[in-house]
Amino acid sequence: MSLLEVHDLVVDFRQRGGARLRAVDHVSFRLNKGETVALVGESGSGKSTVVRAVGQLQRTDAGAVLLDGVPAGRHGRALLAYRRRVQVIFQDPFASLNPMHTVRYHLARPLRMLGGSRSGLDDQIHALLGSVNLTPAEEIAGKYPHELSGGQRQRVAIARALASGPDVLLADEPVSMLDVSIRLEILNLLDRLKRERDLALLYVTHDLATARHFSAEIMVMYRGEIVERGPSDEVILRPAHPYTQLLASAAPDPSASREQLAAARRARMAARETASQDPASRDLAAERREVLLGEGCRFRLRCPHAMDVCARRPPDAAVGDQHRALCWLHARAATPASSAGSES
């Protein structure tokens, strides 16, 4: 049994006119102690909604979230007990701290809620600040968010998440608002805390390079569905789903030579040219956001390998050890697994 299990999570958003947008469509995964799982995908793919749903910050329409095999509490004491063990780190450290309060206040609140004694409070706050490398702790504790840099603010947000002594951290794009030079320090910090405290970490990002570097497993999300999952090196170095292949080829590659870059660019332009000739795929360029509510593969309008069969629901096919893709291209290798994530 894994520490945190998510089974067939569904979140619908009601739209104007009564239509529903399925932001998260039967997503399942597991988080284990001392392990990082990365969730990658483009904006609007539903990554943050997964975090909010698992963190019990968002109403869900179906599915189950189990912590140690027990369904997550939704109200009152049970919810409080769940939150104590599952904490969220948000993307924007400029928005997630209250500008009217000091760092001390931000950390004292979760500590007090746990019924900690007033006398030891300052020591606990200083210990928390020390654990995220914010020193001198006494000085930092008295500061307001505007007196801190973006990196320092995110450290405060991490310290706040650690205050309740959680087992699971859900980090929603924890570094995308920060400078490149600071990002690594924050990711290294999360990695160290994960090891020291044996935390289960969900790392949500759109950066494939750091996803590969900091996590054991990667899940790729497209329009509400997990379309590929597997060991990080497998997913990045041998992507099986055409969407993952597109993501991997779009990321900057500083090691490529000028000739390689120019050749890759010409190939992409040619592919786009062919696609724009096809009137059915004209909308592709428009990057339309609405979810196709048909049964078929949601990526098929953008997919260079699209076939007739793609109008039917793609199978969850095994493409390697622990490596699966939701794609007809790999159908021959498919095993009759009913729901993704049940293989581990």
Partner 1 sequence: MSAGEVILRAEHVSVEYAGRRPTRAVRDVSFELRRGEVLGIAGESGCGKTTLAYALARLLRPPARMSGGEVTFTTTAGQTINLAALSGEQLRSFRWTKVSMVFQSAMNALNPVTTIGRQFGDIFAAHRPAMDNAARDRRARDLLTMVNIDPERTVCYPHELSGGMRQRVVIAMALALEPELVIMDEPTTALDVVVQREILDEIERLREQLGFSVIFITHDLSLLLEVSDWLAVMYAGRIVEYAPAEAVGKDPAHPYTRGLLGSFPDMRGERRDLHGVPGSPPDLREEFPGCPFEPRCPSAFEPCRTKLPRLLPLSVNSGSGWLAACHLHDREVIGK
Total site size for partner 1, rule CB under 8 A: 47
Q: Print the binding letters for residues 5-44 with partner 1: x by CB under 8 A, - otherwise.
A: -------------------------------------xx-
Is the Cβ of residue 64 or residue 237 nearer to partner 1 in the bound state?
A: 237
Position 182 contacts partner 1 (CB under 8 A):
yes
142-171 positions binding partner 1, by CB under 8 A? 149-151
* 205-244 footprint of partner 1 as x/- string (CB under 8 A): -xxxxx-xx----------------------xx-------
Q: Any contact of residue 269 with partner 1 (CB under 8 A)?
A: yes
Q: What is the 3-state secondary structure (H, E, C) of the chain?
A: CCCEEEEEEEEEEECHHHCEEEEEEEEEEEECCCCEEEEECCCCCCHHHHHHHHCCCCCCCEEEEEECCEECCCCHHHHHHHHHHEEEECCCCCCCCCCCCCHHHHHHHHHHHCCCCCCCHHHHHHHHHHHCCCCCHHHHHCCCHHHCCHHHHHHHHHHHHHCCCCCEEEEECCCCCCCHHHHHHHHHHHHHHHHHHCCEEEEEECCHHHHHHHCCEEEEEECCEEEEEEEHHHHHHCCCCHHHHHHHHHCCCCCCCHHHHHHHHHHHHHHHHHHHHCHHHHHHHCCCCCCCCCCCCCCCCCCCCCCHHHHCCCCEEEEECCEEEECHHHHHHCCCCCCCCCCC
Nearer to partner 1, 167 or 217 (CB): 217
For residue 255, state whether it binds partner 1 (rule: CB under 8 A).
yes
268 contributes a contact to partner 1 by CB under 8 A: yes
- Any contact of residue 179 with partner 1 (CB under 8 A)? yes
Positions touching partner 1 (CB under 8 A) are 42-43, 149-151, 179-185, 188, 206-210, 212-213, 236-237, 246-258, 261, 265, 268-269, 272, 276, 282, 285-289
